[in-house]
Structure 1
Amino acid sequence: MKQIILGTAGHIDHGKTSLIKAITGTNTDRLKEEQKRGITIELGFASLDLPSGRHLGIVDVPGHEKFVKNMVAGATGIDIVCMVIAADEGVMPQTREHMEICALLGVRHGMVVLTKIDMVDEEWLELVTEDIRDFTVGTFLEGAPIVAVSSATGDGIPQFLEELDALCDGVPERGTTGLFRLPVDRVFSMKGFGTVITGTLISGKVGVGDTIMIYPGKTTSKVRGIQVHNQGREAAEAGMRTAINFQGLEKTAINRGDILARENTLIPSYMVDLELHFLPSNKKPIKSRTQVRFHTGTSETMGNLILLDRDELVPGETCQVQIRLDEPVSLIRDDRFVIRSYSPVRTIGGGKLLNPIPVKHKRFHQEIIDGLMGLVDAVPEGIIDHHARMAGPVGVTFDELLLMTNLPAKELDSTIGAMLNSQTLLLADKESRRYIHLAVFDGLKQLSQEVLERYHRDNPLKPGISKEELKSKFPRQASGKLFTLVLNRMIKDQQLILADDTVRLATHTVSLQVDQKASKQQIIDIYAKSGLTPPYFREVIKRLEVDPKSAKGVLELLVGEGVLVKVKEDLYYDRVTIEKLKDELVAYILEKGEISTPAFKDMTGASRKYVIPLIEHFDATNVTIRVGDIRKLRKRQ
């Protein structure tokens, strides 16, 4: 059966609590102070069986202006509102503010209940009724039923229940496929049960034994018991007024305003992007960076309103904004919110969330402004496209997109699958399900192309750049997996060639100038003739009288080609000479079992300045291993 929550709204002392008592028999004013003062301070709860057999949960909210924040908390999750107006007073200030709040929170179904009709005559009742019709013009209650009742005498109560039953038919079913979320509106301890919370389950479902997380603090606990309308249940689903008690959870670990959800399904954030409607009833514009009270779910958080495309917002206008909060909130796209001024406290605007986990935006950045405007009515593909573009090389995960799109997991998975097939998105990390936008990916490919072009231009004699150096040119937010993905794609597309951890453009070839070709042959001849006592390279440069930078490039080319071997800084050998010495060294050790440094010196016939670098070179290339003052073969030859 359809799960429906009925909420009251209206000015103080207009009979909200009396109406609920008349139809349910429950006095929702449970606090001694409420009963003593005759006003509702905290939220009250009851349930009702309608003539059709439909079961409703009821939330009674306070009407006094000092307790509007409690009213906002109670209005979260309601499907139908009863705007209660006393016949002897008519429309009052809190009637108007409650109407604005309900509209801002997205309430679309309701009726006006004209109470205390036993205190006025027929003529006055007609005047008040006409005034109410004028009041509701342009609101979601325009054309809604106006039912006159007396909670004291019972007059009109049957008609009220019939209208309420009919209204329920028009309330759409809530889906149960979304993330489980329950904003906490009450916390208390009960003997034998421990810590108990209550709230309206706004999406998903929860069962006994489930592990839940309390956001934004991320405390975890296990559901010990569930009640719906004072009846024990094994599970509760969206639309139910729900009470849950937990195993081993201290009362101090949870507060009104917290949200219950599955582990690691929500992400606390100190910033949110919003579409804000600034109420026409405001007396003056609001400036950027104004401190405001941000109400969403059952929470109230202080924050600063950041206008991104203007310096002030005029009454009646709507725009996209960012709010930077003093405390984190854990929300999802399309959550409704209300903003109230810091002082004096009154409702000034509200709307719905566009992005619950944004980065800090710069003001007057046109791409940001256009992107947020596009999010307002975007289809799922457009929302994903925007967030993937804005995420840049960091990418965006599946879990983040669940919050950014407010889509059921299966629908999101299907949408992402279609975008992967069209290659609008690419999977950058399978394990974390992190996605990169094609435009970002192409940008990294272009960056690689430009880095290599510049490198080849500056180092024409080098075969290419090392993988690590190329990776260092990527944005620091780019992961190693993303770098590898870009590299492999460019290799597959025959744009790059990777050889021995050296990357080059497929079009790059080493090209020597005429003077470098001459230098190359001269350097080869010098090292081939010098045997085991070659000159240091700085001496070669002086002998040839060539440009040091040009000669260094030729040298590195010869090393890369394997013609020369670098033994230590500035000391190079002809490869044939080194290989011949290696064979002699191995043969000697195989016969003798070991070799000492003096014996190696006799073998080479060279001075100590060559002997030590040579024997250390063979150590470094895993031919020999030093054991005390002698060398042995590192492995059998």
Structure 2
Amino acid sequence: MENRHYLIGTAGHVDHGKTELIRALTGIETDRLKEEKKRGISIELGFAHLTLPSGREVGIVDVPGHERFVRQMLAGATGMDGVLLVIAADEGIMPQTREHLDILNLLGVTKGVVVINKIDLVDQEWLDLIQEEIREVLAETIFANAPLYLVSAQTGVGIPELKIGIDRLLENAESKTANGPIRLPIDRVFSIQGFGTVVTGTLHNGTINIGQEVAVEPGHRFTKVRSLQVHNQNVESAKAGQRVAINLAGINTDEVEKGKVIITPGAYPVGNILDLRLKNLVSMDKPIIHRQRVRFHIGTTEALGRIHLLEHEELPPGQEGYAQILLEEPVVGAAQDRFVLRFYSPAYTIGGGKVLGVAELKRKRFKENVIAQLHLKDQGDPLDLIEKELIEPKTIKELEDILSLDPTEIDKQLKQLKKQERIEIWKEENTSLFWAHDAAENWRKRLIDHISAHDRQFPLRGGISREELKVKLDVKWTNRRWQNIIEQGAERGYYRITGSKVKLKEDIQLSDSFLKKLECLEKRWKTAGLMPPDLEGGSQECGIDKGNNLEFAGYLVEQEKWVSISGLFFNSESVRQAQNDLVKLLEQNKEVAVGDMRQIWGTSRKYTVPLLEYFDQQKVTKRQGDKRVLNR
């Protein structure tokens, strides 16, 4: 079973048996308050956990059903992988069931099963009628094709089948991100004597560890994780999708409250103005009006604010449009978060939708460029959109041309990506290049793989040339960008560069067979001195195939064991000695001819002339007519 964590919740009318159902599934009592036990209804969120037949570990949120406690229901629904819509067999769908359905739709919950509870209280004829009614009402909701389970939480009938159904529901649930910054909306705050402040919530993103520094937002209050619990067990770390209790160091309960969010410092935007895509519920009989005061629910947070419609005078029932919420207090609001709006008084759900981002200013209404910018954000999280464009390194100007966003907006998003460690910053002379971290990491892996493969095929070449590597990687950048990045990669220690060759950080280890052949060549050429054999013949003597002799020669030249001169290969020590002999004779005689050096070196003209030309190239000598003099 994959190592990930799931969260499911309940929804439905008061007294339809949600808490009893969870107790039947898990054996855990989620009504923890005296008031809840006394009244027989859930007031606050309750939590339980369950191991399914497949081995999946699942957290369960018991959300209140009473209309006075919809705020708690909204807090519980945030972050669910699926939901159990609980309907009592003796009552059927009730008003609060319908509001819960609206909320789940607005929050983007797409997976669920229908549980008809209390079947022990009705006969078969009534049960058949209730099922038919439920299917009819749910036809236009996320539960239209959802499996339906008949259970009795009191007697246990249908509970084993329901557990299997929950397992199937979670088979294709989208995995929460355990990498990156943490984000945990707080749904409970309390104090334990001897430990201090404890907060609980569902970890939406990242992995949280003991000792980690975190921020409580809004408020910029910094603290550290003293200890962690998951399902009442002490743990060293917790991952996205888990219900977590965090003991915070150096912070009092009056400094943190339900609705605030525990995050990696600086990783998520906080503000009073949010860009939105807003939907008015089909079931509403009134439009949402510009400047209307509403209750804004996001995560576990409830804040008061006014709707600022950007393309409507009023938003009719069933319609969507771009808007802003002007809040009376700041909230944490990342792009793609789901939110719900409730009427100010009396409180009932009127709409909701998707956050497009935190805005610095109130936007002008009915402006084409404003709507176009929000439409682009609507395509996805701006951070995700920019990150996707940075699969190759780009400048801000290049991003501006592609995304049609102004440089200020792009710069703001890039800073956010940097805080979240999702991009890398490289240089192209005096200009910054931005590159998605995952894409750059993948590029580096491919580059190292190509070098390794090249080394295995050609172990004597000492790396791969820059240009050959560029072709292998199918790089389409300008040559300037390629050279800048390949050199910066070496500076960052990913690999080495020697001249035109790109190498692994560590030299390749040659096999014994290669080493023996190299040793044979060195010995043969050292013995030959300044009259070396031709490469083909000498290589064959050392057991080297004709097709590989240049590989061996090139390696020995690179290792400075040999010197390549006019298609001939000389032992390096012999060449150094020849130079010493030449300089010594010139210091005595001022000039020498080819014949003089043939005699001194004991070589034929075939070797003498190339050697003298080589020393001319090395600025040791200078040719004057048919003589050489020292190059002073």
Q: TM-score, normalised by structure 1?
A: 0.63
1:256 and 2:261 matched: no
* Maintained 8 Å contact 1:63/1:71: yes
Correspondence for 2:245: 243
Distance 1:317 1:394 in 2: 29
The structure 2 residue matched to 1:227, chosen from 207, 229, 251, is 229
Correspondence for 2:88: 86
- 1:330 Cα shift? 1.5
Correspondence for 1:461: none
- 1:264 Cα shift? 2.0
SS of the aligned residue for 1:244 comes to: strand
The structure 2 residue matched to 1:59, chosen from 58, 61, 71, is 61
Correspondence for 2:450: none
Distance 1:8 1:320 in 2: 31
* Maintained 8 Å contact 2:400/2:410: no
1:347 and 2:349 matched: yes
The structure 1 residue matched to 2:40, chosen from 34, 38, 41, is 38
* Maintained 8 Å contact 2:267/2:420: no
| Cα 1:118–1:397 shift into 2, 3 Å | same
Correspondence for 1:149: 151
| Cα 1:385–1:130 shift into 2, 3 Å | farther
Correspondence for 1:113: 115
Correspondence for 2:205: 203
The structure 1 residue matched to 2:411, chosen from 392, 396, 410, is 396
**Matched letter for residue 402 of structure 1:** L
* Maintained 8 Å contact 2:312/2:321: no
Correspondence for 2:371: 369
Distance 2:273 2:415 in 1: 15
**Matched letter for residue 324 of structure 1:** L
Correspondence for 1:503: none
Deviations 1:203-247 (A, max 9, x none): 111100001000010111110101111111111111000110011
**Matched letter for residue 8 of structure 1:** T
The structure 2 residue matched to 1:175, chosen from 177, 181, 191, is 177
Distance 2:14 2:243 in 1: 24
**Matched letter for residue 300 of structure 1:** E
Map of 1:415-434 to 2, 5 A cutoff?
427=432
Distance 1:71 1:234 in 2: 30
* Maintained 8 Å contact 2:107/2:339: yes
| Cα 1:128–1:252 shift into 2, 3 Å | same
Correspondence for 2:137: 135
Distance 1:342 1:386 in 2: 43
Deviations 1:343-382 (A, max 9, x none): 2211111111111234220112221012112321257149
Distance 2:346 2:407 in 1: 42
Deviations 1:64-108 (A, max 9, x none): 111101100111111110000000110111111111111111111
- 1:396 Cα shift? 2.2
Distance 2:248 2:212 in 1: 10
| Cα 1:393–1:155 shift into 2, 3 Å | closer
SS of the aligned residue for 1:142 comes to: coil
SS of the aligned residue for 1:184 comes to: strand
Distance 2:33 2:200 in 1: 16
The structure 2 residue matched to 1:268, chosen from 261, 264, 270, is 270
Larger mean Cα displacement after TM superposition, 371-380 or 298-307: 371-380
Correspondence for 1:380: 385
Distance 2:188 2:160 in 1: 32
Correspondence for 2:12: 10
Distance 2:293 2:285 in 1: 17
Correspondence for 1:518: none
**Matched letter for residue 300 of structure 2:** T
1:102 and 2:104 matched: yes
In structure 2, the gaps of 5 or more residues are: 390-398, 436-632
Deviations 1:498-534 (A, max 9, x none): xxxxxxxxxxxxxxxxxxxxxxxxxxxxxxxxxxxxx
In structure 1, the gaps of 5 or more residues are: 431-637
| Cα 1:194–1:172 shift into 2, 3 Å | same
Distance 2:19 2:434 in 1: 55
Deviations 1:39-73 (A, max 9, x none): 11000011111122211111100001111011001
Map of 1:62-81 to 2, 5 A cutoff?
62-81=64-83
| Cα 1:391–1:370 shift into 2, 3 Å | closer
- 1:390 Cα shift? 5.5
**Matched letter for residue 188 of structure 1:** F
**Matched letter for residue 185 of structure 1:** D
| Cα 1:428–1:359 shift into 2, 3 Å | farther
**Matched letter for residue 108 of structure 1:** T
| Cα 1:126–1:408 shift into 2, 3 Å | farther
**Matched letter for residue 194 of structure 1:** G
| Cα 1:124–1:35 shift into 2, 3 Å | same
